[in-house]
Each structure stands twice: as C-alpha cells, then as structure tokens.
Amino acid sequence: MEFFRIHRTIPFMRHALVLNAISVITFVLAVFFLFHRGLHLSVEFTGGTVMEVAYQQTADLGKMREAIGKLGFQDVQVQNFGTSRDVMIRLPAQKGVSSSQQSAQVMDALKADDASVQLRRNEFVGPQVGDELTTNGLKALAMVVVGIMVYLAFRFEWKFALATVLANLHDVVIILGFFAFFQWEFSLAVLAAVLAVLGYSVNESVVIFDRIRENFRRYRKMSTVEIIDSAITSTISRTIITHGSTQLVVLSMFFFGGPTLHYFALALTIGICFGIYSSAFVAAAIAMWLGVKREDLVKGSTKRDGDPDDPNAGAVV
C-alpha cells in the first residue's frame, strides 16, 4: 500500500557525511549530559515508600496528586491498579523522614479530602531493589543488542549487523541524553519504551536492507550508493504510513494517558523520530562506509535477473 510513489531517486547518501556528523555531535552531547547530570531515577531504582490505598468509589487521581503535592513531595507516582478504586502511590525516600512518617502524612492529606480512604499496604523499597532492577535492565538491553546482531548477521551480512547495532545504540543513548538533559523521570516504563524502540528501529532497518538486497539483484549496473539511495526512496511511502499511524497512537497516550504514561509516550516519540533517521541515514551510511557490495548479499545466485537494460540478463555467472 502506498499513498504516493517517488519516481526520481533522492540522493540521500550524497549528504551522508553531514547527516552523520550531526548524529555524532548529538550522540556526544547525550553522553556528556548522561555523565554530567545523570538520569533522574524513579522510586523503582532509588528506593522509597510504596502505598496501596482503596476508596469506596472511583478515585480522583488528579485530586490525590494535588493533595500529596502540597506536602512537598517531589516525583510522586499515583496510579490505579486492579480497579478504579484501588490506587498505588510511590514516594521517593527523604532524609530524616521514615517510611511510616511519610505514609502518615499522605493518609492525613487524603482523608482531608475523603474520609473513606483506607490504607491497604505500606512498605519501604530499599535501594538494593533498585540496584537489582538496574542490573537486570542493563542485562535486558545487552541481550536485545546481541539478539539483533545475531539475527541480522544470519539474515543479511555482518556489515549490516554492525551498522544496525551502532545505529540502534545511537537511538538509545540519545533518548537517555534527552532524559538526562531535561531531568525527566526515568522509570521502569521508560526502560520498557527504550527496549521497544530498539525493536522498532531494527524493523525499519530490516525493511531498507531487504530493499537494498532486492535492488542488488535487480539492477546490475547501479553502484552501491545508487542502490542504497533507491532503496531508501522506494520505502519512504511505507515509512510515512507505518510510523505516522504508530505516532498517532503514541501521541494519544501522551496527551490523554495521564502522568503514568507521559514519559513512556515521550520516550517512544523521541525513539520513533530518531529511529527513522538512524535507519535511513546512519545505518545505511555505515554499511556503505564498511564497503558493503553486491557479492555480500547476493550469494549463490546463478542467474542475472531483473535489469531489462542489462544485455547479460539471464546469463550464467
């Protein structure tokens, strides 16, 4: 399905050096902010108080956040779980204030608005749990990267595998750089979004690489640069349809999903935008610079096929 078709190949690789220079600068800035400012980790990673409260009717999360905010707590997470009457509250740890004191203050503030609220559970999540989550999160990220690299190496060629992994890591680091620069809260939901972006971005790369391999088989007279430009140009319509529809869903979560989904949707939005950019320009350009050629992707072929202008079409090679 295509909304439109571009009949003239756009010379993307002509600007590959400039585009990748911008990518390198953005990447370096992201790394700088990650080390200079660091991530603003949520309660899951730093430790704090977790409360579960229940109402007799549907809980008004907006009023709850406003009441808790008046107590001076920062980065409080308030969300439903189970039913609309059950609410989970996560409070960051504060120096000099115990978990029981925090929960008592919160319950007093909530009961001032609705006396029917009941405390079902109150516990302290220590920083050792956060360390475990951090370790497991990094392991998950490493496993995704290795899995992607192995898959692409078998399906295409190691040059494409290396190019895709570098491009995907470029996306991940830039997302983390945004969160470090603006000090947005980094939670488990955001980590899930980062892992989702890895899979989403590699899908776009696979589509482009498939078209590159197809073009190598069809057009024997084209150079590698022309093949890559043609592949990216021919997938533009598909990219707009796929990523545009996905972004509509993500934006609906961003605007209407409330604070719980806010940073999750924000991370996905950044990842989708940079995922398109990195697949089309970064991954393809790196593969080009690594010297990918027809023989790397068209192995075991016994016939020349596809190019009607090639006088040797159909000849044995």
pLDDT per position as a tens digit, 136-150: 877 877 887 788 778
pLDDT tens figures, 181-212: 998 988 888 988 988 888 788 888 888 988 99
Output the domain CATH number for residue 71.
3.30.70.3400
Tens digits of residue pLDDT in 33-48: 999 999 888 887 777 8
pTM to 2 decimal places: 0.79
Domain containing residue 17: CATH number: 1.20.1640.10
Residues 66 and 211 grouped into a single domain:
no
Based on the fold, state whether residues 162 and 105 are members of the same structural domain: no
Rounded alpha-carbon distances, angstroms, from residue 64 to 23, 93, 148, 184, 240? 42, 19, 43, 21, 40
Q: What domain range includes position 277?
A: 12-39+129-297
Q: Considering its fold, how many domains does the chain have in total?
A: 2
Predicted pLDDT of residue 310: 46
Asked if residue 35 is part of any domain, the answer here is: yes
**Which of 90, 125, 160 represents a domain boundary (last residue)?**
125
Q: Tell me the CA end-to-end span of the chain in Å, nearest whole number.
A: 35
- List CB contacts of 225: < 8 A, sequence separation 6 or more: 13, 288
| pLDDT computed for residue 314 by the predictor | 39
pLDDT at 1: 54
Query: What tens digit of pLDDT does each residue of 256-298 get?
Result: 988 888 999 999 999 999 988 998 889 999 999 998 888 776 6
In a domain, 184, yes or no: yes
**120 & 145 share domain:** no
Domain edge (last residue) among 94, 125, 156: 125
Burial of 11 (C-beta count, 10 Å sphere; 0-12/13-18/19+): middle
118-125/48-54 β-pairing: antiparallel
Q: State whether 218 and 258 are in the same domain.
A: yes
Q: Do 24 and 106 lie in a common domain?
A: no
> In this predicted structure, what is the pLDDT of residue 108?
92
* Same-domain status, 120 and 136: no
Same domain? For 229 and 254 the reply is yes
Residue with tokens 């590159």: 212
* Residue 258 phi, psi (nearest 5): 80, 180
Higher pLDDT, 93 or 166: 166
